[in-house]
Structure 1
């Protein structure tokens, strides 16, 4: 049985599983921030995040066919390392490093040495990721991370709710039939991006649509959830309500430090801040409506991704996704923390001014 690793710093704790190098939970005091769910609990998504349509892509004049791991949508979902065991290479009370050797595989004939480092500090949790190309050919590569964020009013799941990779029934990609009145409905969200990726019924992007700065949502607005760009506009803090999200957002807005920061404000009036460095191009946000009655809309996945969905198949090499030469590496960092209450003197990860988001 694989043993999870607990990190501790001051009043904060985080639990990491070697399966998928997954961040299962993160708590500050008695406030849950990252919580376990049934699908891709905090897993590392590599060498691509999200979906590749039909599992097919062309690269450097060669056609590649990946195994279909989401049959309902005919896609290859969330890479190759979310349900494998990583090796713990370094560990102390507040830090753990996990490595995985990604060997050439069906549909992805490239080799990488992967490393994930979780470091817990008083100001929050930082996550550093590295992918070193150990093969002889240049290779397409993408990183993604899948933390489920608690809105503060409900802590779903429990120690036994983690599934190794989460493939199969209950995929978060099932949009469901709409809001089930879950805990995320009363939460407020900011996704600092300037474009929204419209998708087909398989959640494959079909269009990149810019947000209109002049758009105001009418009080009596009725949404067509699959195509309503007005409903997907969370550039300013607003209540999620019954909006169904399993959507990618591009061209992130960034602060003076070049980081982009999403925010989730819960019923307890506390804000979770998720930050990603310039190596990340895309925010993916999922309300989990397809997870079943017990888990749907109990937490929200706010996922930093270095490339958008279906990037290998439809993206522009070097622009929409990274190409890593032999001996080179892709290195990125993201972080998560809790903004202090007004008047508090305590620190918090990414407690940046409002204009930094």
Structure 2
């Protein structure tokens, strides 16, 4: 059941709505202009839009992984493909920790689910201000042994009312993890982007399709990597990530693949991630916390409006 509970925050011309279910970012606007795709309150977010993916993002092959010598079997949330997909918390209601006019802080705990014995507490704070939306994630190992995890956020960007195919996309990534298309699992080692995959300069999205994990993100002087979706009228949505989120999954919702975004057809997800698909099994960029230790990461979205 999807909770009707959600939290509105606003400041400096930005307005956001964050759901209790999955800590999902349901709305982000600047001056009334949409910077993310949305969905009706109290309904299931289409294509996991806006939801937090934890304690792993993307897919775990056959739901199996080994950590510190012990084998684990996760529930197969994608049974038709025999994958454990997108973690444990996207359909759960997060507890309200604190809130104000411009921020909301929510928390969830995992540990004891089938295949997941690792106790972790995850607190996320969404806050809006002059620089847009900032989301701060803090994960703490509340158990007595080491604990692995990964984090992703299934963010769909939007540049006002412009159709996606009228926009350009820029992602400062030099490397890519190839995936096989049937199950969206890693296929071969990380490699340099090909010309067809290269998004380091703005590219028109008409005719392009992606479901691709990118890494090798170029960072600016403040340590952030920035991805840009730009509309012809100058409206732009910029998604940035801190160094702890070293991956970005670019996904095109497309009716031709039976994955249309309701009311929009083609739509674009740019998803910050700490690790690639199947990281629980491969160990690639997997976060491992000692007992009592914490880890923090940030991402955010700002908007540029036509002058």
* TM-score, scaled to structure 2: 0.91
Flag structure 2 segments of 5+ consecutive residues without an equivalent: 40-45
Measured against aligned partners, the alpha-carbon deviations of 1:116-163 in whole angstroms (never above 9, x if no partner) come to 000110220000001100011101111111111113235xxxxxxxxx
Instruction: Confirm or deny: 8 A CA contact 2:240 2:299 kept in the other structure.
Output: yes
How many Å separate the matches in 1 of 2:278 and 2:118? 18
Please report how far the alpha carbon of residue 113 of structure 1 lies from its aligned counterpart in structure 2 after TM superposition. Answer: 1.1
CA distance in 2, matches of 1:48, 1:109: 14
Q: Does 1:68 align with 2:70?
A: no
Whether 2:155 is the aligned partner of 1:188: answer no
Indicate which of 289, 296, 306 corresponds to 1:324. Answer: 289
Structure 2 vs 1, CA of residues 264 and 292 (structure 1 numbering), >3 Å: closer, same or farther?
Answer: closer
1:140, 1:322 within 8 Å by CA — same for their partners in 2?
yes
Secondary structure, counterpart of 2:165 in structure 1: helix
Please give the root-mean-square deviation of Cα atoms over the aligned residues, in Å. Answer: 1.6
**Deviations, residues 194-230 of structure 1 (Å, cap 9, x unaligned):** 111111121111132203xxxxxxxxxxxxxxxxx33
Taking structure 1 as reference, are residues 244 and 297 closer, same or farther at Cα in structure 2, changes over 3 Å only? farther
C-alpha distance in 1, partners of 2:290/2:265? 41
Instruction: Tell me how far apart the structure 2 counterparts of residues 143 and 61 of structure 1 sit (CA, whole Å).
Output: 23
Aligned to 2:233: 268
Residue 19 of structure 1 corresponds to which residue in structure 2?
A: 21
Whole-Å Cα distance in 2 between the matches of residues 18 and 107 of structure 1? 25
**Aligned residue number for residue 223 of structure 1:** none
Instruction: Give the C-alpha shift of residue 313 in structure 1.
Output: 1.2
| Separation in structure 2 between the aligned mates of residue 293 and residue 83 of structure 1, nearest angstrom | 19
CA distance in 1, matches of 2:199, 2:265: 17
- Aligned equivalent of 1:93, options 101, 105, 111: 101
1:10 paired residue among 4, 9, 12: 12
The TM-score with structure 1 as length reference comes to 0.79
SS in 2 for 1:185: helix
Change in Cα spacing, 1:246 to 1:324, as seen in structure 2 (3 Å) is same
Pick closer, same or farther for the CA change 1:293–1:40 going to 2, 3 Å: closer
Q: Secondary structure at the match of 1:120?
A: strand
Structure 1 match to 2:43: none
CA distance in 1, matches of 2:55, 2:80: 21
Kindly state the Cα deviation for residue 296 of structure 1 after the two structures are TM-superposed: 6.4
SS in 2 for 1:250: strand
Structure 2 SS opposite 1:34: coil
Q: 1:196/1:17 Cα in 2 relative to 1: closer, same or farther (>3 Å)?
A: same
Deviation at 1:30, TM superposition (A): 2.4
**Residues 7 and 15 in structure 1, CA contact (< 8 A), matched pair in contact too:** yes
Q: How many residues align?
A: 294
1:304 matched residue in structure 2:
272
Supply the distance in 2 between the matched residues of 1:195 and 1:140 (Cα, whole angstroms): 24
Q: Does the aligned pair in 2 maintain the 1:151–1:299 contact within 8 Å?
A: no
| 1:151–1:267 contact (8 Å) kept in structure 2 | no
Alignment partners' CA distance in 2, 1:185 and 1:129: 32
Structure 1, unaligned runs of 5 or more: 155-182, 212-228, 345-357
4+ residue stretches of structure 1 with deviation over 6 A?
Answer: none
Q: CA separation in 2, counterparts of 1:325 and 1:295?
A: 45
Answering whether residue 83 of structure 2 is matched by residue 103 of structure 1, we say: no
Matched residue SS, 2:124: strand
Contact map agreement 2:253 2:261 (CA 8 A) in 1:
no
Alignment of 1:202-351 (within 5 A): 202-207=183-188, 208-211=190-193, 229-289=194-254, 290-292=258-260, 294=262, 297-316=265-284, 320-341=285-306
Q: Given the superposition, is the C-alpha separation of residues 34 and 292 from structure 1 closer, same or farther in structure 2, using an over 3 Å criterion?
A: closer
Which protein has the bigger strand share?
A: 2
Separation (CA, whole Å) in 1 of partners of 2:264 and 2:101: 34
